[in-house]
Amino acid sequence: MTGLCGLALLSFVRRPKLRSFATILAAALILWGSLAGAGHFAALLMQESPPTARASLGPAFWTLAVAILAIADAMQRGNFVIPARVCIGAAFCAGFFLMAAAGDFDDLSLAKEFSNNRGIFVTELLRHLGLVCAATFFALLIGVPLTMLVLRKTAVAGFVFASLGILQTIPSIALFGVLIAPMSKLSEQLPFLRDLGINGTGPAPAIIALTLYSLLPLVRGFYTGLSEVAREVKDAATAIGFGARQMFIEVELPLAMPALLSGLRVVTIQAIGLASVAALIGAGGLGTFIFQGIGQYALDLVLVGALPVILLALLANFFFEMLLGLARRKL
Amino acid sequence: MIELRNVSKSFGATPAVADFSLKIENGAFFVLAGPSGCGKSTVLRMINAMIVPGKGQIEVDGQDIRAMEPEKLRRSIGYVIQSAGLFPHWTAADNVLAVPRLLKWSPSRCAARLDALVALLRIDPALLDRYPRQLSGGQQQRIGVARALAADPDIVLMDEPFAALDPVSRAELQDELRGIHARSGKTIVFVTHDMDEALRLATGMAVMNGGRLIQTGSPASILLAPVDDFVRDFLGGESLQLRLLDLVPVEKLMKPGKTKATETIAAGASLKNALNLMLARRRSFLGVEDASGKRLGEIHLNDIVARRDAN
């Protein structure tokens, strides 16, 4: 409560650095208060209950989310240098893991669901990351040449963007479903594909679908970035004797880098979210917990899948923020 | 020497340059002048193969440029554009050294060349580590000119390089450029639509209109005998006579001897400056001094008027 009031009062502080700093402190208060409180009350409740009982988190606990957002926002606004951001982030994580290790949360149902699934959690997390990385990799593999094509031949640009746009509008569950039939046909016809583990269900169609979704934001971001490199700069580069390759490597690429990274950021975060749906076609990943949880009406199991997805997305965002900061420093 | 023979170029259906022939001698400060869209920039960009002519032939130092590798040709010709076109992600020093590095000069040679250019263009060394966005327009253009001169090319092409600058920076850079030209003997081809700039800088000039060459010659010969109404209007119509005075230094009409004149003017100033000063101070004659302030003689209003009559 104190933290929330503090947060509200802080909007009156004028100096931005100070305001950001104080915001982080207030948010930290809320964060630790809620976490410790939740663990404490759960322990109290569970003292008198049978072992199968569960203590879930109430809606009020989710002011926590506000606190985390406030911290991220404050770091953004305060224009904190990268090392400072890393330190603040690391401090929060360290605190959380210390509390978890000390057993503060052991009586919360979320923690119970987590420890029940501890064995497969890591597997599914890695599988999730694998899906995202593979999709991003293939999206780059196809997207970069496609961008080059679109930049060279403006005539095909409309066609390419229209096709990718249509792909993008197909709902994800539908696309995963639609891929099952042709993929299983394909693996029936070509045994070597089956030997590679490529089937109508599983990771292969999931990666294909995620790649297809990634193409539009990737190609559009890359195209915009490269085509917006100032004409007179390219003109001057040509005029003083840069060849096409030198121009690309030394002028276009560094100048378009922020836009390229932004494109990649959108693609990665989108893939982290969409990969959850891939669990539906047996590709595994954190979505497994979400759909299991929904099936069993075990909301805390849903959270075991959903919270790491959110954290992954935040982490990815932070990582790209950092790279963007480096790329922009010179521009 | 740069020679263009019967060069034509169309963009789509619109002809940009038509049957254009021109010879630019070594060491000339050659100005291509004309209204916007007259094809002067196209001519300039054809000289370093940025634009390939549809018809005709272009030779640089007796060699057909079609036989040369475009990148090699361009590295041997300096180039400056209006907005400087500096690389925003490189420091001023890196920008200046762009061509030497393309030519794979050794770091020590690059460093020595940078020092020479800093001295030549009177660049504040503190600016060298800055990025273009941290420089003023005039400073950027100074770096742009230094970049064009970096690999010591015999020919420098300049496409309205000072058009976007404030009058003070523009005049400063014009003087600087005129000095560099005089000392180095480089061939400069300079595109502008600003008649005052053309007259101040040119040793030879060509007036273009609608993709055609209308008149070529020394600035004075064009001012004295414009071939048609277009050239006369372009040169400034009614103020044409005043422009002509801009071309002649005071010392040409100075009378030696002692003088009691209280107002003085520098010997290198133009007759137009002298006339201006006479009108402003209500005098019919001025004392003439050299750069050190030593009295050389005097100049009379009558002589300026009579000179015009003699023409």
Q: What is the pLDDT of residue B311?
A: 43
Residue A167 sits in the same domain as residue A290 = yes
**Average of pLDDT values for B120-131?**
91
Cβ pair B102:A246 closer than 8 A: yes
Q: What is the pLDDT of residues A239-256, one digit of tens each?
A: 998 988 889 899 988 898
Residue A240 distance to chain B (closest CA, Å): 5
Residue A101: give the domain boundaries.
Answer: 2-108
A61 and A190 assigned to the same domain: no
Q: Rounded to a whole number, what is the distance in Å from the CA of A158 to chain B's nearest CA?
A: 23
Answer whether A230 sits within 8 Å of B88, measured CB to CB. yes
Residue in B with minimal Cα distance to A256: B89
Pinpoint the alpha helices (H) of B187-299.
195-201, 219-224, 229-235, 240-246, 271-281
* ipTM summary value: 0.77
Q: Is residue A57 part of a domain?
A: yes
* Residues A138 and A28 both lie in one domain: no
The reported pLDDT for the residue numbered A78 is 67
pLDDT tens column, B245-302: 887 888 888 888 777 778 888 888 888 888 989 998 888 888 888 888 888 888 988 8
**Domain segments of chain B as ranges:** 2-239, 248-310
Q: How far apart are CA B193 and CA B162, in angstroms?
A: 11
Of A240, A251, A254, the CB nearest to B99: A240
Q: Which pLDDT does position A331 carry in this prediction?
A: 61
Residue B12 has pLDDT above 90, yes or no: no
Interface of B with A in 94-113 (CB under 8 A): 98-99, 102
Q: Same domain for A44 and A159?
A: no
CATH 3.90.1280.20 fits B248-310, yes or no: yes
DSSP string, B110-173: HHHHHHHHHHHTT--GGGGGS-GGGS-HHHHHHHHHHHHHTT--SEEEEESTTTTS-HHHHHHH
Token match 């180039």: residue? B79
B309: confidence class by pLDDT, cuts 50, 70, 90: very low
* Count of domains forming chain A: 2
A186 vs B120: which has the higher pLDDT:
B120
Q: Is the pLDDT of residue A5 over 70?
A: no
- Looking at CA atoms only, how far is residue B254 from chain A in angstroms? 46
Query: Residue A10: pLDDT above 70?
Result: no
Decide if A113 is inside a domain. Answer: no
- Shortest distance, CA B184 to any CA of chain A (angstroms): 20
A222 and A258 inside one domain: yes
Q: Where residue A125 sits, what CATH number does that domain have? A: 1.10.3720.10
Looking at A82, A108, A134, the residue that finishes a domain is A108
Instruction: Note whether A215 and A78 are same-domain residues.
Output: no
Q: What is the pLDDT of residue A11?
A: 59
Cα–Cα dist B1/B24, whole Å: 6
Digit-coded pLDDT (tens) for A104-153: 666 676 777 777 777 788 888 898 999 999 999 999 999 888 888 888 88
Same domain, A169 and A312: yes
Q: What is the pLDDT of residues A267-281, one digit of tens each?
A: 999 999 988 888 888
Average pLDDT over residues B71-93: 89
B87 contacts in A (CB within 8 Å)?
A: 233, 236-237, 251
Reading the block at residue A300, the tokens are: 């805390």
User: How close does chain A come to B224, measured CA to CA in Å?
Assistant: 36
Q: Are A208 and A278 contacting, i.e. CB atoms less than 8 angstroms apart? A: no
Domain B248-310 in the same topology as domain B2-239: no
Closest CA to A272 of A114, A133, A144: A133
Most A-contacting residue of B71, B80, B91, B133 (CB-CB within 10 A), to test interface: B71
In a domain, A222, yes or no: yes
Same domain, A195 and A53: no
CA closest to B103 among chain A residues: A241
Report pLDDT digits (tens) over A161-202: 888 888 888 887 888 778 877 777 777 777 777 777 677 777
State the pLDDT confidence band at A44, using cuts at 50, 70 and 90.
Answer: confident
**pLDDT tier at A237 (50, 70, 90 boundaries)?**
very high
Same domain, A199 and A134: yes
Q: Are B261 and B286 in contact (CB under 8 A)?
A: yes
* Interface A:B, Cβ pairs < 8 A: 58
Half-sphere exposure of B201 (CA within 13 A, CB side): 34
Domain boundary among A40, A74, A108: A108
Average pLDDT for residues B107-132, to the nearest whole number? 92
For tokens 């929904």, name the residue.
A294
Among B72, B73, B81, beta carbon nearest to A236: B81
Claim to verify: residue A61 and residue A183 sit in the same structural domain:
no
Lowest mean pLDDT among A292-296, B32-36, B48-52: A292-296
In a domain, A269, yes or no: yes
Q: Does A230 touch chain B (CB under 8 A)?
A: yes
A222 and A93 both lie in a single domain: no
DSSP H helices in chain A: 2-9, 16-46, 63-77, 82-101, 109-116, 118-152, 154-169, 172-189, 191-195, 203-227, 231-239, 244-246, 253-274, 287-295, 299-328
pTM for the full model? 0.72
- Nearest chain A residue (CA) to B86: A233
> Would you tell me which residues 143-182 of chain B have a C-beta closer than 8 angstroms to some C-beta of chain A?
147-148, 157
CATH class, domain B2-239, is alpha beta
Helix A16-46 / helix A2-9 crossing angle, nearest 10 deg = 160
Q: Which of A66, A82, A108 is the last residue of a domain?
A: A108
> Which of B42, B45, B96, B102 to mutate to probe the A interface, most A CBs <10 Å?
B102
